Amino acid sequence: NAGVTQTPKFQVLKTGQSMTLQCAQDMNHNSMYWYRQDPGMGLRLIYYSASEGTTDKGEVPNGYNVSRLNKREFSLRLESAAPSQTSVYFCASSYDRDSEAFFGQGTRLTVV
Amino acid sequence: DQQVKQNSPSLSVQEGRISILNCDYTNSMFDYFLWYKKYPAEGPTFLISISSIKDKNEDGRFTVFLNKSAKHLSLHIVPSQPGDSAVYFCAVKPGNTGKLIFGQGTTLQVKP
């Protein structure tokens, strides 16, 4: 019962480097989301995918791109990392828009 | 502008007593509210929700109260247990997109 799996769990990047955060769910969920959590800010939505083949911007999309590779997988890419992108990133999925969201364990990213 | 606010960053209660966590929101159109619980190094997990057609929802030791006129909701935990020590996030799900808007979180410590 893996649920939502994120890789990697930790990453340190230098400013300007690129990387992709991977997320996969095995619950046959239609909707997937990427959030970031910063101290004192709660979780903020970066991008979401309501269904396979669609993606939309959330509250803080700048500096990120996403790919809904298939129904199971939703990746988040940082093309040129900046220190402001130091955060904990959470992927989530839900069966549909009305269902509760299940979260992965998070990826702690530090950009130096 | 923070649409969902949890004004108390932390709360400490004695085991067996009641914990009350508060949340305020700004938009009277919000109609679905949730509480998530988060342990360190884990993703948030869904705890309880309430629709705007209700003013109370109960699940075991957890009860959520909604005061629409005050745009305020609260989570009551009775009796509190040390295992309840975690960060609690209030969230709203606007419209039918599945997106969540989170508050900043309140860290609850339940002392034995």
Using CA atoms, how far residue B5 sits from B79, B90, B91, B103, in Å, is 25, 8, 9, 5
Supply A79's token pair.
């093309």
Distance from CA of A6 to the nearest CA of B (A): 10
Euclidean distance between the first and final Cα of chain A, in Å?
Answer: 35
> At residue B5, does pLDDT exceed 90?
yes
CB contact under 8 A, B97 and A100: no
Confidence at residue B76, expressed as pLDDT on a 0 to 100 scale: 98
| Mean pLDDT calculated for residue range B47-63 | 96
Give the best residue of A4, A36, A43, A57 to mutate against chain B (max B CB count within 10 A): A43
CB neighbour burial string for A13-38, b if at least 16 within 10 angstroms, e if fewer? beeeeeeebbbbbeeebbbbbbbbbe
Confidence at residue A40, expressed as pLDDT on a 0 to 100 scale: 83
DSSP class of residue A84 equals: G
CB contact under 8 A, B43 and A103: yes
Provide, as residue numbers in chain B, all residues whose Cβ is less than 8 Å from the Cβ of A94.
98
CA A67 to chain centre: 10
> At residue B21, does pLDDT exceed 70?
yes
> At residue B92, does pLDDT exceed 90?
yes
Q: Which of A54, A81, A58 is nearest to A69 (CA)?
A: A54
Confidence at residue A1, expressed as pLDDT on a 0 to 100 scale: 64
**Percent of chain B's residues with pLDDT above 70:** 100
| Mean pLDDT calculated for residue range B6-15 | 96
Provide, as residue numbers in chain B, all residues whose Cβ is less than 8 Å from the Cβ of A24.
none
The mean-pLDDT minimum among B3-7, B70-74, B81-85, B94-98 falls in: B94-98
Distance from CA of A60 to the nearest CA of B (A): 12
- Looking at the complex, does the CB of residue A96 fall below 8 Å from at least one CB of chain B? yes
Provide, as residue numbers in chain A, all residues whose Cβ is less than 8 Å from the Cβ of B23.
none
Provide, as residue numbers in chain A, all residues whose Cβ is less than 8 Å from the Cβ of B100.
33, 35, 43, 45, 101
Cβ contacts of B43 within 8 Å, gap of 6 or more: A4, A90, A92, A102, A103, A104, A105, A106
| Mean pLDDT calculated for residue range B68-86 | 97
Confidence at residue A97, expressed as pLDDT on a 0 to 100 scale: 81
As a whole number, the mean pLDDT across chain B is 95
Cβ contacts of B76 within 8 Å, gap of 6 or more: B18, B19, B20, B62, B63, B64, B65
Per-residue pLDDT of chain A (112 residues; tens, 9 = 90+): 679 999 999 999 999 999 999 999 999 999 999 999 998 889 999 999 999 999 999 999 999 999 998 999 999 999 999 999 999 999 999 998 888 999 999 999 999 9
Provide, as residue numbers in chain A, all residues whose Cβ is less than 8 Å from the Cβ of B34.
100
